[in-house]
A and B are shown apart, each in its own frame.
Chain A
């Protein structure tokens, strides 16, 4: 009996210690495709770990090839929840799918307070997407990490996420409001003064047209030419709202193509 209990306890300890080792072994940056050199990988991992210490956050980056029908939102949420969920001040991950050349970011609820879907995620896209597009994957990873550092630092300094309205009066907005209000006032004045008179010239004789007398005897449309213009779509086409709508579970995030 005692032996059975001992074996069970031993098994549990082995399983727990193995799990801890597995988790500890997952580095912030996972490069399944060998896109980064060994030195680059080491350097970026050190940078992220240092930042994790400073801000009390977790950052994960995964370069991989997904299957064609993979849901990137679910994949990024799972990647975060399974590997980077335990953080003091929030977690964020970036998955780069080299198969479809798409990327997806996910944040947990704590990080969502610091990096919003409406402003923070588009800011990060602007930081790393050009490097990703140019095939500079180390540069893209660095830019992503630097961007997260900037946004979290902004939150720590201002007490509110990047993109939210500042405290106090925004004089630019106030100036704009005054100008628009004055223009509205002038419009109202002009309308009020105009309403004091109902004198006007009659420009048409439609009241005197005999409706049944109209007979259209030529009705010809000739095609002349065609113009074609092309405009780039907005890059944040897959962003999902102000926050917390990234596949549920309190996640935030957004993605795009490169």
Chain B
């Protein structure tokens, strides 16, 4: 039976190949031979084609066998089996997995069927941060949080660290924005024993064109939107034309949220920024508020990119805590647990210290 997956193995010694963070080549960690990305792509292109055919054959067979089995139709549709080309083990992954590693032999494994047609990304931002960088960054992230439980850091062990390429849509748009603002000029002057306040009201119309480039919106249901928006920004100067070789040694998902479904998130951000830009041109007034706005998209372009993310999972009080690190910039995001005793005690101490100070301040104001 033909392999339904491809292992990127060193043509020199046969060991698994990995794309090491910060390097522009694929490196064999065993014999230290370095290969150009294009050379590896060409070398394994035929193997990938074979694997695609094998995977299609297996899928067709699996679906027929699935009838009457213990899996429901939905479950079977979501799960896909493939064989590890290194040890022959049968592995199961979900329908979006593009790259993973064998749980038995640890071999980095690609599933080329998932790269087909329009699913192939346009760009990739290669990993720059290593596993050690991710662990160090997480420890640094713990610092400075006063409410962090003492035994969280003392007994803390990172349960799982996974490097993953997350599918992102990059939206380019050129827009025409129109907005009306209500602005006020306030002038105060004295006359006799009166203070006269004159408030002049103005209607301010603004319109203009502007362009936004590569607004990132993740195309993965598995990844929480707020986490993905929190690891921004990315340095697009390191955006590289996509090659599957970059995915070796990492987990990778294809998108399961289409560009059309993701577009409203980008549109909302564009609208807010466009209004800010127009409002910043309303000058010489004391107050300004938005009355109405209309944003028209003149040109909209979408590109598909794979973005590096380290996913770190730890556990405290039997509850998992997930942190994510931007695999390019090293920015860590996540929510830490807090000690309820400290959360009561520290503000209470502040309040007790404040009471006498405020008491004398109030007395000074009254008398």
* A positions within 8 Å CB-CB of B: 119, 163-165, 170, 173-174, 176-178, 180-182, 184-186, 188-189, 192-193, 195-210, 213-233, 257
Contacts and interface: CB of A to CB of B under 8 A. Distances in A.
A208 B213 contact: yes
Contact of A231 (B183, B194, B202, B269): B194
Nearest to A160: B367
Contact of A201 (B199, B229, B338, B351): B229
B201 A224 contact: yes
B284 to A, nearest CB: 8
A237 to B, nearest CB: 8
Nearest to A162: B367
Interface of B: 145-148, 174, 178, 183, 190, 193-215, 224-227, 229-230, 232-233, 266, 268-270, 272-273, 276-278, 281-282, 333-338, 343-344, 346-348, 350-352, 354-356, 358-359, 361-363, 366-367
A233 B178 CA distance: 43
Q: Is the interface of A mostly helix, strand, loop or mixed?
A: mixed
Given A203-B269, A205-B215, A226-B200, 5 more contacts: A178-B355, A193-B343, A204-B276, A209-B277, A215-B210
A173 B359 contact: yes
9 contacts: A189-B343, A197-B334, A198-B333, A199-B224, A199-B230, A202-B232, A202-B269, A205-B215, A218-B205
Contact of A230 (B196, B225, B232): B196
A226 B185 CA distance: 9
Contacts, number: 199
A163 B364 CA distance: 11
A217 B209 contact: yes
Given A165-B367, A218-B205, A206 B200 contact: no
A186 B344 CA distance: 9
Contacts of A202: 229-230, 232, 269
Contacts of B202: 221-224
Given A206-B273, A228-B198, A196 B338 contact: yes
A212 to B, nearest CB: 9
A202 B216 CA distance: 10
A177 B200 contact: no
B194 A193 contact: no
Contacts of B203: 221-222, 224
A13 B195 CA distance: 59
A184 B354 CA distance: 8
B63 to A, nearest CB: 39
4 closest pairs, A vs B, by CB? A185-B351, A197-B335, A213-B211, A177-B358
Contacts of B273: 204-206, 209
A205 B272 contact: yes
A71 B331 CA distance: 69
Contacts of B361: 177
Contact of B226 (A192, A201, A231, A233): A201
